[in-house]
Amino acid sequence: MNDNTFEKDYFGGKVSSLYKQYRLPYPSDVYAVILNHIDPLRRDFCVDIGCGNGQATHELAKVFKKVIGVDPSQGQIDECDKSMSPNVDFIQSKGEDLSFLDDHSVDLITVAQAVHWLDLDRFFKECKRVLKKTGAIVMWCYRIIDLKNNQKAKEIHENHYFNTLKDYWAPEIKMIDNEYRDIKPPFDIVERVSLNYTIKLSINHFINIYKTWSGYNSYLKTNKDILPDLKKQFLDCYHTTDDKSSIMECTYPYSFIICKNEES
């Protein structure tokens, strides 16, 4: 990512509250992948980069003695519940600037759905500096939601993502579409893990997820809102007028990169 990306603050303002309300918490299987790669005796200090509203930060605080959530967006930091976990602090900062951390002090660095926004060379250099010798980085993303139980709705959804918003996505989003395969971390041990998580969502919830997309919010700056029409199309696809029942079977395809300097 270049230095200007965070200045755009794709996820501040009204988007930050929508993000907190409609972006699903990461499922327990995600944390199982993380913890399977972290020695139970080495869970003192975790830093959650691009923490957003603190979803993952607070979950990680259940197993680490100390966690710091870091995000460049003041809007996202404002949405964090500062009283939820006594062992958590939140800091507004770019993920490439960890100057507030001592050398070789961190057991785990996590980056959820955010590493594509970073200047990777600078970020990995900082990770090398602050990680303990046996420390690790776990980065993950999920690609476009896969609608499983309605082919017509799936086609509408994918057309919205790949065609309608095509010219409004930042270039960094291609890294997510490519399952982070373009990211080549400079570490001795690099492992890649895939995971699918399926849940049923309401049409109302699904439409509101669109409102949290950076591409959609860029589109809105020069185009009229198309979500009311998309909502009507989805209701027609499912032959219903009920937008509150959980009828859309949604699979989230997760991709993880786990990095270590050496076997811990």
pLDDT, one tens digit per residue, over 119-152 is 999 999 999 999 999 999 999 999 999 999 999 9
Please name the residue ranges forming H helices in the chain: 5-8, 14-22, 28-35, 55-60, 74-79, 120-130, 151-159, 173-177, 203-210, 214-220, 227-237
Instruction: Give the CATH number of the domain where residue 121 resides.
Output: 3.40.50.150
CA distance 42 to 19: 32
Q: Of all residues in the chain, what percent carry a pLDDT higher than 70?
A: 92
Query: Quick one: pLDDT band at residue 264, thresholds 50, 70, 90?
Result: very low
For the cut 70, the answer to whether the pLDDT of residue 60 exceeds it is yes
Whether 7 shows a pLDDT value over 70: the answer reads no
What is the average pLDDT value for the chain, to the nearest integer? Answer: 92
Quickly state the pLDDT bin for 16 (edges 50, 70, 90).
low
Spatial contact of 111 and 70, defined as CB atoms under 8 Å apart: no
Strand ranges, E, within the chain: 45-49, 66-71, 88-92, 106-112, 131-142, 146-147, 189-202, 246-260
pLDDT at residue 8, rounded to an integer: 54
Bridge partners, residue 136, by sequence:
108, 260
Question: Is 20 a residue whose pLDDT tops 80?
Answer: no
Residue 82, pLDDT score: 86
Are 84 and 58 contacting, i.e. CB atoms less than 8 angstroms apart?
yes
- Measured CA to CA, the distance from residue 16 to residue 89 in angstroms comes to 19
pLDDT value at 64 more than 90: yes
Residue 193 β-bridge partners = 256
| Number of domains forming the structure of the chain | 1
pLDDT at 23: 85
pTM of the full structure? 0.90
Percentage of residues in the chain with pLDDT exceeding 90? 84
pLDDT category of residue 9 using cuts at 50, 70 and 90: low
Find the domain containing 94 and state its range.
Answer: 5-260
**What pLDDT, on a 0 to 100 scale, did the predictor assign at position 5?**
41
pLDDT at 212: 92
pLDDT at 262 over 90: no
Residue 1: pLDDT band (50, 70, 90) is: very low
Give the pLDDT of residue 22. 86
Helix (H, G, I), strand (E, B) or coil at 77: helix
Average pLDDT over residues 77-103: 93
Q: Rounded mean pLDDT of 216-245?
A: 97
